[in-house]
Every structure is written in structure tokens, then in C-alpha cells.
Amino acid sequence: MADIQNYSINFGPQHPAAHGVLRMVLELDGEVVVRADPHIGMLHRATEKLAETKTWIQALPYMDRLDYMSMVCNEHAYCRAIERMLGIEVPVRAQYIRVLFDEITRILNHLMFIGSHGLDVGAMTMMLYACREREDLMDCYEAVSGTRWHAAYYRPGGVYRDLPDGMPQYKESKWKNGAKLKKFNEARSGTFLDFLQDFVARFPKLLDDYETLLTDNRIWKQRLVDVGIVPPERALQLGFSGPMLRGSGFAWDLRKKQPYAVYDRLDFDIPVGRTGDCYDRYLVRMNEMRQSNRILQQCIDWLRANPGPVLSDNHKVAPPRRADMKSNMEGLIHHFKLCSEGVHVPEGQVYSAVEHPKGEFGVYVISDGANKPYRLKIRSSGYAHLSAMGEMARGHMIADVVALMGTIDIVFGEIDR
């Protein structure tokens, strides 16, 4: 009989299912994975080191580029760290806007998750549907910040500006004209909140559509059920957080357990899985989108009723209004100081964590009183999840590795930093 040996294959660094640049050395026994060793760092940009050379505010746009699927949630953790060290109050309306955008981002991220997870496992339709809805939400990003992805919208002390009164509209073109153009622009004729309200109203129905496509789909279940089971005690040991931890049966959500911003005033539930397999984690994320939709509705109602400032009036931290800067000497000085030297954050250290769509995203900063961070450490959830890949993949078929990668919901921006 022939002598059969294990053999190793190289998965990535360029592979459509690698969600970016992941190289994984897989040792196989037939089609069964014996050992999986992820090699990361192909997207390492040393964000933390770069931040040490920039002022506190200049480092903020780097946060968008970490987990580039959930941009403003990263900013939220960073801004909160600075705000806590400076001890400044954020206006309530700004906190509501932050929660609103955190939840928009959560939906964006989870849509991308089911889209790409579906694509990995062989359900191509999901990606197309998910991108259709993502388009509307990215228009929201564009309306408030001018960019569709890297918003830099949250600032220490609040948000950059208030929600706009109008939405950008489609212009007449060869492809969109007449009645069609009118239909496209129908929801965009009102304010930003009207547009979002329209989305919130139709989103549950769309989620039901996705569920009919996937939840009871035989192929989908065959690929996900009982794949990558993580028992609760292992989930704790491996440092899991977010949907990965909830999939294993812990009702742990920082928004509920250690509430930040205005999450303690909002009504929502934490979906929890039972078996800790890929299918449960999928169900948890689907349910989270429904909960996010509920939160969006509550935020919209509150924001409609309560106008007010959205940026702190402490001009040592947040820039003064444009008009003040033009007419007022003090405003001009503040603006100049902020834009040249930046904020001086008092000496100390702080760890601020938020419930990011992928898990716990934490920013640990050490300040020595300078206008730049002394040390910035970004704790990304995907990093801990991917480090468990070896354990999760062991004993599974090689095709399941792709399903596992989807279920972790990895984005290399945050893992490699």
C-alpha cells in the first residue's frame, strides 16, 4: 500500500474567499484540515505608530481605515477615549446621532457579512441584494460627511455637523429619466431623517426576504449547521466578543452591559445563539439587524423632536463655528491653535470599548500630556477571532474553512491595523 502523507497547501494571500489578504498554511490529511496557521500582516500599516506622530485629531481619520466595513464605530471608540480623558460632555443630540450612525453601520456591516458569507458558501444572490440596501445607507453617510466610506464624522466633543435638511438627488440621465427618475428621487425629496425613515420602514420586509432565501435553505444549512462549533468555555478562553460570543450562548453586549452614549435610553434585545456553530452566528447577526432597525426608529423619533447643538462648545477641544471664526478674534485663535497644535490631552491612560458590529473594539491610549498620543493600542475583535481559526478549523473539511472565514466576518483593515 502506498505511503500516504499529510500535505500542506497555501490558501491565499490572494484568494477570493480570503476577504482581503490572508495567507493560511493548511496541513491536510486527505480533505481534512489537521492544522491551519494563518499568516497575517499583509495589510499592516502601523496605524498605532503613525498615530504617535500625529496630533489627536489628525489621527482620527485613520480609525475609518481600520475596519473599513464599519467605519464610524471605530471613530466612536477613539473619540470616547479622548473625551473621557479630557472629561468633556458630549451634547445629547450628538450622542443620539452617534448611536444612529453606529446602528446604520451595524446594518451596513451585517449586510456585507451575509453578502460575502453567502458568496463564499455559494449563494451569490445575497451579495446583490445586500449591496442594493447598502447603497441607501451609504447615501446616508454621504449626506452627512461627504464621503461614502471614510467619514471622519465623529469628532472629540460630538459630531462634525448636524443632519442635513436635504438628500442628494439623482439627476436626469439617459438611464434615469421621467417616471423612473421620479421614483428614484421620491424618498429623497424630504430631509435626511425622512429618507432614513423610509428605509427603516421597508427594511424588516427586506430582511424577511433574505431569510426566505437563506434561513431554511437546505444547502445553506448543510454548509453552516454544526460547522465551527465553539463551546462557551472555549469562547471565553479565546477572547471572543460580539456575535461570536453571543452565538455561543452568552447574552453579552456592551451596549446593554456597559452602556455608552445613549444606549441605556433605548429599547432593544440581545439575540443569543445556542450551539455556537456558524448557523447560530448567522441567525444572531440577522436578528441584530432587526434590533438595529428598532434602535434606528427610536433615534429618528427622538432626533425629530429634539433639535440642539451637536458639538461641544468647549473650543479648546472642538473648533468654533465658521461664522465665529471669521468675525471673532477669540474664535480665530481657537481655530488656529486647534488646527496647528491640536488638543493637549491630560496625562493618563484609558481603555474605551464599544460594541462594534464584529465584537468588542477597544482603544487603549496612553497620554503624557502632549498634543499627540504617547501610545495608541487598537484592540480589534477580528484579531482574537482569527487567532482561534486553527482551533476552529481542526478536523473540518477544507471547504468548511471558507465557511469559517465567513462566519468570523474578517476584515483585514482591523486585524492587521
Partner 1 sequence: MSAKLELLSRNLQKHLGGRIAGMQTALGEITVDVDAALYPDVMPTLRDEPELAFEQMIDLCGVDYSTYGDGRWQGRRFAVVVHLLSIARNWRVRVRCFAPDDDFPAVPSIVPVWNSANWFEREAFDLFGIVFPGHDDLRRLLTDYGFIGHPFRKDFPVSGHVEMRYDPEQQRVVYQPVTIEPREMTPRIIREKNYGDVENG
Residue 109 engages partner 1 in binding (rule: CB under 8 A): no
Residue 75 engages partner 1 in binding (rule: CB under 8 A): no
The least distance separating partner 1 from the CB of residue 416, rounded to whole angstroms, comes to 6
Interface pick for partner 1 out of 372, 396, 403, 406 (rule CB under 8 A): 372
* Whole-angstrom distance, CA of residue 9 vs CA of residue 255: 41
Nearer to partner 1, 172 or 368 (CB): 368
Evaluate whether 361 touches 74 at the Cβ level (below 8 Å): yes
Q: Helix, strand or coil for residue 336? A: helix
Interface pick for partner 1 out of 21, 22, 77, 85 (rule CB under 8 A): 85
Residue 379 engages partner 1 in binding (rule: CB under 8 A): yes
**Footprint of partner 1 on 14-53 (CB under 8 A):** 40-41, 44, 46, 48-50, 53
Residue in this structure with the C-alpha cell 471558507, named with its chain if needed: 402
CB atoms within 10 A of CB 164: 14
Residue 275 engages partner 1 in binding (rule: CB under 8 A): no
Evaluate whether 196 touches 296 at the Cβ level (below 8 Å): yes
The least distance separating partner 1 from the CB of residue 239, rounded to whole angstroms, comes to 3
# residues contacting partner 1 (CB under 8 A): 57
152: left (phi over 0), alpha (psi -120 to 50) or beta: left
* Whole-angstrom distance, CA of residue 57 vs CA of residue 79: 9
Residue 241 engages partner 1 in binding (rule: CB under 8 A): yes
* Whole-angstrom distance, CA of residue 123 vs CA of residue 192: 33
Residue 270 engages partner 1 in binding (rule: CB under 8 A): no
Residue 13 engages partner 1 in binding (rule: CB under 8 A): no
Nearest to 407 by CA among 143, 97, 121: 121
Residue 259 engages partner 1 in binding (rule: CB under 8 A): no
Nearer to partner 1, 46 or 124 (CB): 46
Residue 366 engages partner 1 in binding (rule: CB under 8 A): yes
Interface pick for partner 1 out of 4, 307, 323, 340 (rule CB under 8 A): 340
Give the contacts of 10 (CB within 8 A, at least 6 positions apart). 23, 24, 25, 26
Residue 336 engages partner 1 in binding (rule: CB under 8 A): no
**CA dihedral in degrees (55, 60, 62, 68; nearest 10)?**
170
Give the contacts of 310 (CB within 8 A, at least 6 positions apart). 91, 93, 94, 97, 158, 159, 161, 162
Query: Could you tell me which stretch among 186-194, 281-289, 320-328, 341-349 binds partner 1 (CB under 8 A)?
Result: 341-349
The least distance separating partner 1 from the CB of residue 66, rounded to whole angstroms, comes to 14
Interface pick for partner 1 out of 122, 168, 204, 348 (rule CB under 8 A): 348
Nearer to partner 1, 140 or 384 (CB): 384
The least distance separating partner 1 from the CB of residue 347, rounded to whole angstroms, comes to 8
- Grid cell of 211 as nine digits: 431569510
Crossing angle of helices 92-121/125-145, nearest 10°? 160
Interface pick for partner 1 out of 13, 32, 35, 58 (rule CB under 8 A): 58
At residue 395, φ and ψ (nearest 5 deg) are 85, -5
Evaluate whether 71 touches 411 at the Cβ level (below 8 Å): no
The least distance separating partner 1 from the CB of residue 54, rounded to whole angstroms, comes to 7
Assign 3-class secondary structure to 391-409. Answer: HHHCCCEHHHHHHHHHHHC
Interface pick for partner 1 out of 11, 141, 160, 252 (rule CB under 8 A): 252
Residue 55 engages partner 1 in binding (rule: CB under 8 A): yes
Evaluate whether 398 touches 33 at the Cβ level (below 8 Å): yes
Interface pick for partner 1 out of 237, 264, 301, 336 (rule CB under 8 A): 237
Evaluate whether 339 touches 132 at the Cβ level (below 8 Å): no
Interface pick for partner 1 out of 320, 362, 406, 413 (rule CB under 8 A): 362
Interface pick for partner 1 out of 229, 349, 397, 398 (rule CB under 8 A): 349
Nearest to 403 by CA among 131, 116, 128, 129: 116
Interface pick for partner 1 out of 13, 91, 190, 239 (rule CB under 8 A): 239
Give the contacts of 406 (CB within 8 A, at least 6 positions apart). 17, 19, 113, 116, 117, 120, 121, 278
Interface pick for partner 1 out of 63, 71, 86, 295 (rule CB under 8 A): 86
Residue 149 engages partner 1 in binding (rule: CB under 8 A): no
Using CB under 8 A as the criterion, which residues of the chain lie in contact with partner 1 when the complex forms? 40-41, 44, 46, 48-50, 53-55, 58, 84-87, 236-239, 241, 250, 252, 257-258, 316, 340-342, 344-351, 353, 360, 362, 364, 366, 368-372, 374-375, 377, 379, 383-384, 386-388, 416-417
